[in-house]
Amino acid sequence: MTKSLAYCAFLHRPQISLPDSGVSSAPVLQETQGELGLLWSEVEWPFDPSVLQRSAVEFHGVVSHMFSQGAVVPFRLLSVFDDLPALQDFLARHRENFIADLERLQGLVQMECVLYFTPGPVNKSSGRDYLEKKAELVRGAEAFAQNIRDATSGLSREIHVRESKNGSRIFVLVERGNEKKFHSIVQDLPVPERLARRMSGPWPPAEFLSDWVKMPQIAGQR
């Protein structure tokens, strides 16, 4: 059985180059509706679990190829539709929302900074001491996230912060071409005691997609 695997949507332009192959070396095909383009491949279904990691790398390779040329809306990893007509119907129903997000995010990239707690001694004899230390670390993470906001205010368009069990994940929307400058600024910020940071990017600004674009992807894919 085969299904239609969607990689990403983008604003179609004649000069854009397409990757030769995608997941499992399948040809990468283009579906176009007006100015909106979408890359997809016909793949065997279900996926072979033994090659899922390789398939994920191939999937991201296609998205990265397109992202290097402009804004993209990446689909969820290894998302499939029953067939091409189902994919075409999905694209037609959400075309205006996709175009609006692509136009809004054109020329922008997503940078990320993960702030996490470093291992340290735990005082097992006092639950109160542990909770107080934990609260102190959380406050340190919040303060560092605010420092990023302040230090990159002239560089960033928008910042989202998501708290996690072990720290914070900070997403920053910046203009393409300012990635090194952003990295340099954040790298120079002091990190609170017992916290460490890990930076990455640029990525497609998936965190900053509108809900209208995020939610249909959940409903329209397997």
Is residue 44 in some structural domain? yes
Same domain, 31 and 70: yes
Same domain, 8 and 78: yes
Residues spanned by the domain of 197: 108-206
Is residue 219 in some structural domain? no
Handedness of CA 11, 56, 156, 181 (dihedral sign): negative
What is the C-alpha separation between 144 and 106, in angstroms, rounded?
29
Same domain, 198 and 113: yes
Same domain, 99 and 140: no
Report pLDDT digits (tens) over 101-128. 999 999 999 999 988 878 765 555 567 7
Token pair, residue 81, equals 């539709």
Q: Per-residue confidence at 219, pLDDT binned at 50, 70, 90? A: very low
Same domain, 38 and 117: no
Interval 86-99 mean pLDDT: 94
Number of structural domains the chain divides into: 2
Report pLDDT digits (tens) over 5-29. 999 999 998 889 999 899 999 999 9
Q: What are phi and psi of 196, to 5 degrees?
A: -135, 160
Is residue 58 in some structural domain? yes
Token pair, residue 48, equals 């072979």
CB-based contacts of 136, cutoff 8 Å, min separation 6: none
Same domain, 171 and 127: yes
Same domain, 12 and 99: yes
Same domain, 83 and 133: no
* CB count in 10 Å sphere of residue 112: 16
Same domain, 44 and 138: no
Q: What does pTM read for this prediction?
A: 0.86
